[in-house]
Chains A and B, each alone.
Chain A
Amino acid sequence: MEKPLTQHIRADRQPLTLKEYEMAGGYQSLRKVIKAMTPKAVIDLVKESNLRGRGGAGFNTGLKWSFVPADSTTPKYLIANADEMEPGTFKDRILLECTPHQLIEGMILASYAIGANISYIYLRWAYKTAAHALTKALEEAKAAGYLGQNILGSGFNLEMHLHTGAGRYMCGEETALLNSLEGKRATPRAKPPFPQISGLFGRPTIVNNVETLCCLPHILMNGPDWFKDLSRTSDAGTKIYGVSGRVKKPGAWELPMGITMRELIEEYAGGMQDGLRFRGALPGGASTDFLVEEHLDVKLDYTSVAAAGSRLGTGTLVILDDKTCPVGFVKNLEHFFAQESCGYCTPCREGLPWVEKILESIDLGKGRMEDLQLLAFHTKYLGPGNTFCAFAPGAMEPLQSALKYFREDFEKHIHEKVCPYERETLSVLR
């Protein structure tokens, strides 16, 4: 089984030095592309490979790039979104900490394709080890002539800077990230214009996720057919999947796109901890709908997970077991969303704290049956089309699916006026 993104990661998880990365074939893709391919050819090849954005949206990367005006003479920007902050998600951390040069090479290739001469890595503040690894790798890449003026004698110039954030989930949203890089509050921007036309400082800009960018050197070296063949489904490539929660061996693994949830949990995460049963999972972070037992054989790719009523998102599963309270679980998620809402539009700013309060009442045994209707109302009122960005609709995904799949738990809290799980949840420690 091929694992292009992670195969060279050292056992001690120390970052690969430039020398080690080059020994493993690093920067060969850049050498090949920068001599032999036009930017247009790079875009076409990536489009054909069917690489889809690994940050969660799953949009075709080459297609996204193709909206950048090729003939524009204004500065253009390429940004790596390394603000990994989706609860339950820990995949980009591995790539950032262990193979910083792979990201840098991917960013140079993406910049070359769209004609960007300035690039930023937007890294979340909490990732200190990654900041360290990236700072060193950027110095090495610059000294080796992979960054700066006239890269490898091609005439292509690229500056790359590391920018660390100041802590806010919204910064991961593409247009909010741009505002944050401009020194503003991280509130989202209206689209159109899309960032590809008017992004950072009003210039054409591409924002790509870390894992997406890390795929590029391999796709351009080995071709689109090789990339498609890595996958078990129509969505190409490998995917870094993760599992957290009360399983025997939580962790992250690079696997063929389209592995099933059952395989991931049973074969890689070692199955549920003794005495616990699988009840459900968020397939790709806090803002995805629950999948439940009947979905265990769903293939974890963008298309199949969408068909099952959820989203692949970041591909890192958070597991709900049968001794953990689903109401408490969702309350924790909505507390997060209420707190991290940027406050820019009213339904999100006012609606989410309301949702959290209702869930808290139910969790404490003070709920009323009408509260369930109120929650259902919010899942529509904060849903797609009613808010400025995808934040609130994302927040409603786990809630609407919890109301559907775990309704009896909500009702039990209300009827018995107490959380039937409380003691169990509090006594759990590994």
Chain B
Amino acid sequence: MLTTEEKNEIDHAISLVPVRKAAGIDALKIVQEHRRWISDESLRDIAAYMDMSPEELDSVATFYNLIFRKPVGRHIILLCDSISCWVMGYENILQDLSTKLGIKYGETTTDGRYTLLPNCCLGTCDCAPALMIDDDLYRNLTTDQLDYILAKYD
């Protein structure tokens, strides 16, 4: 069941477009904001609310990189793996991050704290390597900053 709050936010998104379905991606993002990921049950509820079949909405949900159809941790680490960050050595950051957290790309730490994901160019190539944790952007990364950065999130 969608909550009243979720429905209100989705209604607002629908009010900005001439066709209800056009707000489908927004609806997914809104529910994900509240529940962190889109379960099959959430997907069915959103689809019904948007007058779409679950299959149609799932085809959209699975297309976009940042709609999560599997459970994720409390914080999402998006590590830029595109060209400028590669040249500047993001692989060292990945190696260290992976060792520290004990997870690989696509996995979540056992305490449910972090999910680690690769991400396309974050658009801050003059300050490579870069990563985002939730809404926060970290640039000019060196491996020795990782402990300090990770400690900010619980």
* A350 interface hit (Cβ, 8 Å): no
Q: State whether B125 touches A250 (Cβ < 8 A).
A: yes
Give a binary string over B38-64; 1 marks a CB under 8 Å from any A CB, 0 the rest.
000000000000000000000110011
**Other-chain residue from A88, A127, A252 in contact with B84 (beta carbon distance below 8 A):** A88
B residues less than 8 Å from A410 (CB atoms): none
Chain B residue with the shortest CB-CB distance to A243: B126
B residues near A (Cβ < 8 Å) are: 16-19, 21-26, 28-29, 59-60, 63-67, 78, 81-84, 86-89, 91-92, 119-128, 132, 135, 137, 140, 142-143
Say yes or no: A87-B92 contact (C-beta < 8 A), given A128-B135, A201-B19.
no
* A90 interface hit (Cβ, 8 Å): yes
Q: State whether A127 touches B123 (Cβ < 8 A).
A: yes
Q: State whether A89 touches B66 (Cβ < 8 A).
A: no
Chain B residue with the shortest CB-CB distance to A343: B63
State in angstroms the CA–CA spacing of A125 and B143 once bound together: 26
Among A165, A183, A426, find the residue whose CB has the most chain B CB atoms closer than 10 A: A183
Q: State whether A329 touches B65 (Cβ < 8 A).
A: no
**Chain A to chain B contacts (Cβ below 8 Å), 22 pairs:** A86-B121, A87-B84, A88-B84, A88-B121, A89-B125, A167-B120, A180-B25, A181-B17, A182-B22, A183-B19, A183-B24, A242-B125, A244-B88, A244-B125, A245-B87, A246-B87, A320-B87, A336-B82, A425-B91, A428-B88, A429-B88, A430-B140
Say yes or no: A183-B92 contact (C-beta < 8 A), given A89-B125, A168-B64, A250-B127.
no
* A13 interface hit (Cβ, 8 Å): no
Contacts of A324-353 to chain B: CB distance below 8 A: 324, 328-329, 332-333, 335-336, 339-340, 342
Q: State whether A88 touches B89 (Cβ < 8 A).
A: no
* A186 interface hit (Cβ, 8 Å): yes
Q: How large is the interface on A (under 10, 10 to 19, 20 to 34, 35 or more residues)?
A: 35 or more
Chain A residue with the shortest CB-CB distance to B134: A128
Q: State whether B78 touches A126 (Cβ < 8 A).
A: yes
Q: State whether B125 touches A88 (Cβ < 8 A).
A: yes
Q: State whether A336 touches B126 (Cβ < 8 A).
A: no
A residues less than 8 Å from B91 (CB atoms): 425-426
State in angstroms the CA–CA spacing of A324 and B91 once bound together: 13
Chain B residue with the shortest CB-CB distance to A245: B87
* A417 interface hit (Cβ, 8 Å): no
Contacts of A210-231 to chain B: CB distance below 8 A: none
Other A-B contacts than A128-B137, A169-B120, A428-B88, 20 sampled, CB-CB below 8 A, are: A87-B120, A89-B125, A166-B29, A166-B65, A167-B65, A180-B25, A183-B22, A183-B23, A185-B60, A201-B18, A244-B126, A251-B126, A332-B82, A332-B83, A339-B120, A342-B63, A425-B91, A427-B89, A428-B87, A429-B92
A residues near B (Cβ < 8 Å) are: 75, 84-90, 92-93, 124-129, 161, 163-169, 180-186, 201, 242-246, 250-252, 282, 286, 316, 318-321, 324, 328-329, 332-333, 335-336, 339-340, 342, 425-430
Q: State whether A87 touches B87 (Cβ < 8 A).
A: no
Say yes or no: A90-B123 contact (C-beta < 8 A), given A185-B59, A286-B83, A429-B88.
yes
Tell me the minimal C-beta distance from B140 to chain A in angstroms: 7
State in angstroms the CA–CA spacing of A161 and B142 once bound together: 38
Say yes or no: A318-B23 contact (C-beta < 8 A), given A93-B123, A125-B66, A128-B135.
no
Tell me the minimal C-beta distance from B110 to chain A in angstroms: 26
Chain A residue with the shortest CB-CB distance to B59: A185
Among B16, B18, B86, find the residue whose CB has the most chain A CB atoms closer than 10 A: B86
A residues less than 8 Å from B63 (CB atoms): 168, 185-186, 342
Q: State whether B119 touches A126 (Cβ < 8 A).
A: yes
State in angstroms the CA–CA spacing of A182 and B18 once bound together: 9
State in angstroms the CA–CA spacing of A161 and B14 once bound together: 12
Tell me the minimal C-beta distance from B44 to chain A in angstroms: 17
Chain A residue with the shortest CB-CB distance to B64: A166
Q: State whether A166 touches B120 (Cβ < 8 A).
A: no
Chain A residue with the shortest CB-CB distance to B52: A183
B residues less than 8 Å from A92 (CB atoms): 123
Among B25, B89, B92, B140, find the residue whose CB has the most chain A CB atoms closer than 10 A: B25
Q: Shortest 8 CB-CB distances between A and B: which pairs?
A: A166-B64, A244-B125, A167-B66, A167-B65, A250-B126, A87-B82, A183-B24, A244-B84
State in angstroms the CA–CA spacing of A330 and B87 once bound together: 11
Tell me the minimal C-beta distance from B79 to chain A in angstroms: 12
Say yes or no: A340-B25 contact (C-beta < 8 A), given A125-B66, A166-B66, A430-B88.
no
A residues less than 8 Å from B132 (CB atoms): 126
A residues less than 8 Å from B137 (CB atoms): 126, 128-129
State in angstroms the CA–CA spacing of A92 and B91 once bound together: 26
